[in-house]
């Protein structure tokens, strides 16, 4: 086919697209006139959404095929990804996926009709691309394997198709699953974003193995609460914990409470300081969380609940930990666990000038007045230092 004929077909396509765009605009103008609550009108609009959605899927499949032909011709030395990211308003990651799909399946004759039908969505396209990559160079019948992936997606859904691809990848290369898990673990993270008013957003990305552990624990707890509500007619939760999202949030907190209530050996964190809140001795005023947020004193856990409570004088000096005196043995050589808890709450980080290393750095309890000349082992005479600066202070003295 000559270039002139290609241009003529392109012009015809642009004209046809303009007709479709006008038809959709007219449809939207008519949709804005449908009255709220008109169920018959809503049904028609849903049919329209289905038509538009199938058109979009067909266009995506056809885009993959056109780009597949571009890749076959091989005229773009820099590859397809830069062009896609620049001209199609997609992220680099999405552009890479489209380019890979075009290269792997865009020119496969057996997929021409399915990709143009509007029945194959972007997720199925990605599953087909992974299938083609998995069988590349193995001697397997690529068309037959792609047809099976397509059939599974149509019959059981794209999730089942993706699972089939994973099994295929593992069968062809058993080490690939281990490598994938290693990469996923390396990408995992958990971080806390502090918001206005003391609220926090927890962002967690986990590999499938660790995610399964966490999700199973959350599901077990939420299911137990739902059964209590439905069958036992007992509601063990605050009244504002109603929807599924709120139940999951409460379940996360419940996991933390179980951890904090366990003994140090069970927690596997013998030197952790599970203090949550501090409050004045006289019972008045607000309580302060270990992260510096003020909350109503009535909302903090009672003694015996998970997490310790520190009571302090008005000047901030810690006095009691869960009702027991903190400075029990001022002549002891080392700080007691209770003193470490109190120091952690008071200092929050390394007290060396300019250092902000947090409690998670296993900070040391340092005697301001040295112990040997008679320095007392009290909270008032100690401060927290990170290991580096604790060593520096002791070695810098004559």
Q: What is the DSSP track for 10-32?
A: HHHHHHHHHHHHHHHHHHHHHHT
* Interacting residues of 23 by C-beta distance below 8 A, sequence separation 6+: none
pLDDT, one tens digit per residue, over 213-231 is: 999 999 999 999 988 888 8
Please tell me the predicted confidence (pLDDT) of residue 140. Answer: 92
Same domain, 306 and 235: no
Please tell me the predicted confidence (pLDDT) of residue 397. Answer: 57
pLDDT, one tens digit per residue, over 167-223 is: 898 889 888 888 888 999 999 999 999 898 889 999 999 999 999 999 999 999 999
Q: Which of 164, 134, 171 lies closest to 150 in space, CA to CA? A: 164
Q: Is residue 6 part of a domain?
A: no
Q: Which residues pair with 318 in a beta bridge?
A: 312
- Which of 145, 173, 201 terminates a domain? The answer is 173
Same domain, 169 and 48: yes
- Which of 112, 144, 173 terminates a domain? The answer is 173
Same domain, 282 and 339: yes
Same domain, 50 and 162: yes
* Interacting residues of 287 by C-beta distance below 8 A, sequence separation 6+: 277, 278, 279, 294, 295, 296, 297, 299, 300
Same domain, 234 and 339: no
Q: Which of 108, 100, 104 lies closest to 143 in space, CA to CA? A: 108
Same domain, 79 and 112: yes
Q: Is residue 129 part of a domain?
A: yes
Same domain, 164 and 66: yes
User: Residue 186 to residues 182, 205, 282: CA-CA distances in angstroms?
Assistant: 6, 10, 49
Which phi and psi angles does 294 have, rounded to 5°? -85, 135
Q: Which residue has the higher pLDDT, 318 or 32?
A: 32
- The gap from C-alpha 137 to its chain's centroid, in whole angstroms, comes to 36
CA atoms within 13 A on the CB side of 146: 25
Angstrom distance (rounded) from CA 343 to CA 118 = 65
Which phi and psi angles does 359 have, rounded to 5°? -60, -25
Helix (H, G, I), strand (E, B) or coil at 201: strand
Helix (H, G, I), strand (E, B) or coil at 391: helix
Are 286 and 297 spatial neighbours (Cβ–Cβ below 8 Å)?
A: yes
- Domain limits for position 195: 190-261
Task: Count other C-beta atoms under 10 Å from residue 164's C-beta.
Answer: 20
Lowest pLDDT segment from 108-117, 274-283, 353-362: 274-283
Same domain, 168 and 48: yes
Same domain, 279 and 248: no
Same domain, 383 and 333: yes
Beta strands in 246-300 (DSSP E): 275-280, 287-289, 294-295
Helical (H) or strand (E) element with 191: strand 189-194
Helix (H, G, I), strand (E, B) or coil at 365: strand
Count of structural domains, the chain: 3
Considering all CA atoms of the chain, what is the largest pairwise distance in Å, rounded to the nearest integer?
98
Angstrom distance (rounded) from CA 212 to CA 250 = 18
Please tell me the predicted confidence (pLDDT) of residue 319. Answer: 75
Q: Residue 102 pLDDT > 60, yes or no?
A: yes
Same domain, 322 and 253: no
Q: Is residue 367 part of a domain?
A: yes
Q: Is residue 12 part of a domain?
A: no
Angstrom distance (rounded) from CA 349 to CA 222 = 36
Calculate mean pLDDT across residues 128-149.
93
Helix (H, G, I), strand (E, B) or coil at 42: helix
Q: Is residue 127 part of a domain?
A: yes
Q: Is residue 4 part of a domain?
A: no
Confidence band for 162, pLDDT divided at 50, 70 and 90: very high
Q: Is residue 161 part of a domain?
A: yes
Helix (H, G, I), strand (E, B) or coil at 312: strand
Please tell me the predicted confidence (pLDDT) of residue 302. Answer: 65
Angstrom distance (rounded) from CA 200 to CA 222 = 21
What's the helix, strand, coil split of the chain in %, to 5? 55, 10, 30
Q: Is residue 313 part of a domain?
A: yes
- Which of 261, 290, 320 terminates a domain? The answer is 261
């Amino acid at each position: 086919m000559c270039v002139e004929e290609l241009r003529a077909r392109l012009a015809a396509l642009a004209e046809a697209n303009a007709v479709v765009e006008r038809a959709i605009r007219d449809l939207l103008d008519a949709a804005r006139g449908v009255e709220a609550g008109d169920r018959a009108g809503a049904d028609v609009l849903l049919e329209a959404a289905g038509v538009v959605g199938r058109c979009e899927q067909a266009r995506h499949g056809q885009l993959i095929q056109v780009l597949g032909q571009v890749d076959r011709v091989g005229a773009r030395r820099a590859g397809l990804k830069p062009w896609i990211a620049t001209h199609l308003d997609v992220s680099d990651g999405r552009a890479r996926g489209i380019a890979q799909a075009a290269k792997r399946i865009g020119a496969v004759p057996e997929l021409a009709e399915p990709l143009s039908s509007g029945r194959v969505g972007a997720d199925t396209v990605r599953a087909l691309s992974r299938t083609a990559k998995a069988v590349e160079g193995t001697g397997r019948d690529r068309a037959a394997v792609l047809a099976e992936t397509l059939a599974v997606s149509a019959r059981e859904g794209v999730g089942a198709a993706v699972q089939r691809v994973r099994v295929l990848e593992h069968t062809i290369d058993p080490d690939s699953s281990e490598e994938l898990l290693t990469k996923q673990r390396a990408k995992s993270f958990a971080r806390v974003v502090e918001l206005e008013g003391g609220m926090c957003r927890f962002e967690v990305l986990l590999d499938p193995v660790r995610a399964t552990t966490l999700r199973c624990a959350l599901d077990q707890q939420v299911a137990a609460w739902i059964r209590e509500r439905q069958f036992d007619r007992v509601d063990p939760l605050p009244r504002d914990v109603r929807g599924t999202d709120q139940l999951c949030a409460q379940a996360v907190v419940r996991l933390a409470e179980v951890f904090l209530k366990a003994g140090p050996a069970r927690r596997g964190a013998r030197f952790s300081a599970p203090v949550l809140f501090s409050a004045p001795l006289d019972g008045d005023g607000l309580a302060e969380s270990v992260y510096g947020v003020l909350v109503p004193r009535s909302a903090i856990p009672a003694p015996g609940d998970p997490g310790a409570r520190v009571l302090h004088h008005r000047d901030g000096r810690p006095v009691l930990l869960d009702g027991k005196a903190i400075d029990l043995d001022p002549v002891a050589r080392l700080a007691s666990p209770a003193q470490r808890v109190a120091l952690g709450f008071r200092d929050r980080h390394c007290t060396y000038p300019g250092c902000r290393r947090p409690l998670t750095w296993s900070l040391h309890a340092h005697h301001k007045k040295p112990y040997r000349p008679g320095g007392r082992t009290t909270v008032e005479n100690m401060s927290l230092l990170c290991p580096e600066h604790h060593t520096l202070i002791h070695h810098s003295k004559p």
